Amino acid sequence: MTLLRRLPAYIAIWAWVAFTVAAILWVVMSAFKSKREVLRSGLKPPAELRWENFETAWTIGRLGEFFSNSVVIVCLSVLLILVVSTPAAYVLSRAKFRGRESLTNLFVIGMGIPIPMLFIPIFGILAWLRLSDSLTGLTIVFVAISIPFTVYLLTGFFASLPSELEAASLLDGCSDFQTFRYVMLPMAMPGVATAAILNFIWLWNEYQLSLVILNSPENRTLPLGLYSLQNAMQYTSDWPGLFAGVTIVIIPTILVYAVLSEKMISGMTMGAVK
Amino acid sequence: MIGKRLIGLFVTPALAIYLCFFLIPTGFTFYFSLFDWSGFGTEAQFIGFDNYRRLWNDPTFWLSFRNTLALLFVGGFFVFVLAFLYTILINSGIWGKKLFRLVFFLPNVVSVVALSAMWAYIYNPRYGLLNTSLKAVGLDEMGRTLWTSPDNIFWAMLAALVWVFTGFFLILLLAGVDKIPPDMYEAADLEGANLWHKFWYITVPMIWDVMTISFVIWIINAVKMFEFPFAFGFLQVPQQLYTLGIYLYIMGFGQRDPIYQLGYATAIGVVMLVLAFSLIVLVRRLMRRDQLEF
C-alpha cells in the first residue's frame, strides 16, 4: 500500500536520475564508436571499443599537453589557496582585534562579484606585469578569485572548533604560532581537505578567465582545449573524437566526486545551513 | 591570545593577493567605464557618462539585458519549483536518498564545456537523443523540431541550465530540511496533515534562511552567467544567447575579430554589479523576518 502511494515519487525521481546517467553514459559510450556509428546507433553500446578516438583527441587534439598544463596549474593553485587562506581564516575566526568583522566582510564580498567584471582590468594588470598569456599569471588569478569562498568556508570551520584546547596549549607555554601549528591546524584538517576538493573541481572546470588570459595554443588548459576541439568539430564532424575529449576532461572530476562526494556536499552546504 | 604580529603575518598574504588581483581590479571597472578606451596600450580619453548613454540606446545591450533577466526569473522559477518538488519527493521517506542526491548534483562537477558538447548532441536535429527519442515514441512532428534554431536556442540553453542548477539547489534545500526535527512532522501526521500542509506550514518556515541564501546564490550566478551559453553558442555565439557577461566579453575582446571597446565593455560590468547587488538587497529585504525559535 505504501509502496503504491510512493510510486509517483519513485517514477519522478527515477526519470530525472535515468536521464542524467543515460546522457553522461551515452557521451562516454559514443567516445568509443566510429563516426558513422555515432550517427546511426543511437543508445546502443559500441560494436567494438575504438581506443583510437582517444589517441586522436590526446595527440592531434593536443589534450595530452593541455592535461599536464591543467594538472600543474590546478594543483599549484589549490596548494597556494590553502597556504594563504588557512592562516587568514584562523586569525579572522579566533583572534580578537579591532576591525575583525569588517575585514571578514571585505573577504566575503568577493563572492558576490560577477567574474566577467574582472575580464578587462585583469587583462590590463597582467599585461602591465608582463604576465599575460602565461600560466603563472593565470595561477595568481585563480588564487585571488578562490580566496573569498575558501576564507569564508574555513572561518566557519575554525569557529566551530572547541576553544578549550587552544587555552590549554597556551597554558602549557605554547606560542600563538605553535598553538596554530600543532593544535588548531590538525583539528581543522577535515575543513582544509573539503576546501581543497571544492577548489580542485572548480578550477579544473574554470574556463572564462582562462579564455581571457591565455592566448597561445601551447598554454591552453583542458577546458580551453576541449572548447577548441568542439569548434573544430564543426568542420570535421568528428563527434567520437570530441566525445573522447569530453571523457578525458570529465573523468578526473567524476572520480574525485565518486570517492569524496559526502565531503564535498557537506562543504557546499555548511555555509548555507547553520 | 593571538599576538598582533601573528595576526599581521597570517592575514597579509591572502589580503594582498585578493586586493591586488580581485577587489581593486574590480573597483577599476567603475573608473574605466568613464573613458573611451579602444585598446590596451592606447591612450584613454575621459568621456564622463557617455558609455552609459550609449548603452541606453544600444539594442544589443538591451537584448543581453533581457536575456539575463529571462534567465534570472524564468530559469529561476523552474530551478526552484523543481528543486522544491524533488526535495519533497526525495524526503518523503523513500529508499536511496543518498544515491539520488549524488546523481542530481553530478552535472555540477562536470566541466561546462563538456556539458555544452553533450547538449549540442542531445539537441542535434537528425541524430540527437531528443529527436530520436521523440520519434521512437511516435511524436514524429515534434521529433523534427530544430531545437537550436534562432527562435528556440535560448530556451534550449535554459533547459540545460535548469537541469544543472536544480541539482545544486536541491542539495542546499535538502540539507536545510534535514535539520528540521522529525517530531514536527510526526505531530502533523497525528493531526492528519497532508503533504502540502506539511510543506507549507513546516518545511517552508523552517528552511526560510536556507531559501534566502539560495536565492542570493542564484542571483549571483544568473547575473554573471557566461560560460555555459558561451560554449553552447560554439564558434560564433548567436545574439539570441547573449547575456550581459557575453556581451561584455564580445565588446572587450571580440570573437573572430578583435573589437577592443574596453571602456564600453567595463560599463556593462558596472551594470552587472549594480543589478546583482540591488537584487540581493531586495531579496534580503523581502525575506526578512523575525528569528524563529524552536
Give the cell for residue A176.
Answer: 600563538
Residues forming beta bridges with residue B35, ordered by sequence position: B46
The upper half-sphere exposure of residue A107, i.e. CA atoms within 13 Å in the direction of its Cβ, equals: 29
CA distance linking residue B190 with residue B200, whole number of Å: 17
- Using the beta-carbon criterion (under 8 Å), do A118 and B109 form an inter-chain contact? no
Q: CA-CA distance, B294 to B291, in Å (whole number)?
A: 10
Q: What pLDDT, on the 0 to 100 scale, is given for residue A200?
A: 96
**Cβ neighbours of A249 in B, within 8 Å:** 111, 113-114
As for the ipTM of the complex, it is: 0.91
Over 80: is that where the pLDDT of B41 sits? Answer: no
Question: Mean of the pLDDT values across residues B77-89?
Answer: 95
From CA A203, how far away is CA A74, in angstroms rounded? 6
pLDDT at A175: 87
Q: How far is CA A111 from CA A26, A57, A234, in A?
A: 35, 35, 36
Instruction: Look at phi and psi of residue B234 and say left if phi exceeds 0, alpha if psi is from -120 to 50, else beta.
Output: left
3 state SS of B243: coil
Minimum mean pLDDT range among A61-65, B43-47, B112-116, B241-245: B43-47
Burial of B141 (0-12, 13-18, 19+ CB in 10 A): exposed
Q: What are the pLDDT tens digits along chain A (274 aa)?
A: 466 777 888 899 999 999 999 999 989 999 999 888 887 777 788 888 889 889 988 988 899 999 999 999 999 999 999 999 999 999 999 888 899 999 999 999 999 999 999 999 999 899 999 998 999 999 999 999 999 999 999 999 999 888 888 888 888 888 889 889 998 999 999 999 999 999 999 999 999 999 999 988 899 999 999 999 988 877 777 889 999 999 999 999 999 999 998 888 888 888 777 6
Angle at B120 between CA B116 and CA B123, to 5 degrees: 135
Q: How far apart are the CA of A146 and the nearest CA of chain B, in angstroms?
A: 9
A84 vs B: CB within 8 A: yes
Which B residues 196-215 touch A at CB under 8 Å? Answer: 209-210, 213-214
* Average pLDDT, integer, range B16-30: 94
Nearest neighbour of A10 by CB, restricted to B94, B217, B280:
B94
Domains of chain A: 2-52 (no CATH), 61-236 (1.10.3720.10)
Specify whether the CB–CB gap between A118 and A145 falls below 8 A: yes
**Radius of gyration for chain A, computed over Cα atoms and rounded to the nearest angstrom:** 23
Instruction: Indicate yes or no: CB of B265 within 8 angstroms of CB of A120.
Output: yes
CB A244 within 8 A of CB A54: yes
Higher pLDDT, A253 or B289: A253
pLDDT of residue A137: 95
pLDDT value for A65: 93
B172 touches chain A (CB under 8 A): yes
Q: Distance between CA A167 and CA A187 in Å, rounded?
A: 14
pLDDT score recorded for residue A3: 67
Q: Nearest-5° angle of CA A89, CA A91, CA A97?
A: 135
Catalogue all structural domains in chain B, each as residue range(s) with its CATH number: 50-109+153-286 (1.10.3720.10)
Which pLDDT belongs to residue B84? 94
Residue B185's H or E segment, with its range, is helix B182-190
Look up residue B255 and give its DSSP letter.
S
Interface residue B177 vs chain A (CB under 8 A): no
Cβ pair A114:B273 closer than 8 A: yes
At A59, which amino acid appears?
A: T
Identify the band that residue B38 occupies on the pLDDT scale cut at 50, 70 and 90: confident
Q: Say whether pLDDT at B110 is over 60.
A: yes
CA–CA separation, B10 and B14 (whole Å): 8
**What local confidence, expressed as pLDDT, does residue B95 receive?**
85
Return the pLDDT at A176.
87
pLDDT band at B26 (very low <50, low <70, confident <90, very high): very high
- Quote helix, strand, coil % in chain B, to nearest 5: 70, 0, 25
Average of pLDDT values for B108-127?
A: 90
Q: Is B19 helix (H, G, I), strand (E, B) or coil?
A: helix
